[in-house]
Amino acid sequence: EHSKPKGDLELIDLGCDYFLSKLENSEDYEYVIQRGLWFIGRHFFTTQKWTPNFRASEASFDFVAV
């Protein structure tokens, strides 16, 4: 089980509870994208690939994990 990134991780706060994650290691990227769900510490994140022209203030969720 992959518990923490092998490479550097940078989180950028985009506002409105959205974050951009920059992963240095391609294995880390594949792990996060394939799982779709991600925990950092006690914080739960839903992940998706970057969308050009993304605006956090206009974004919405299509689904929520329960």
Virtual CA dihedral for 47, 29, 41, 59, nearest 10 degrees?
A: -20
Give the residue among 33, 30, 39 at the shortest CA–CA distance from 3: 39
pLDDT of 53 reads 92
CB 38 within 8 A of CB 48: no
Confidence of residue 55 (pLDDT cuts 50, 70, 90): very high
pLDDT of 63 reads 63
pTM over 0.85: no
pLDDT of 35 > 90? The answer is no
Confidence of residue 17 (pLDDT cuts 50, 70, 90): confident
- Where is pLDDT greater, at 36 or 65? 36
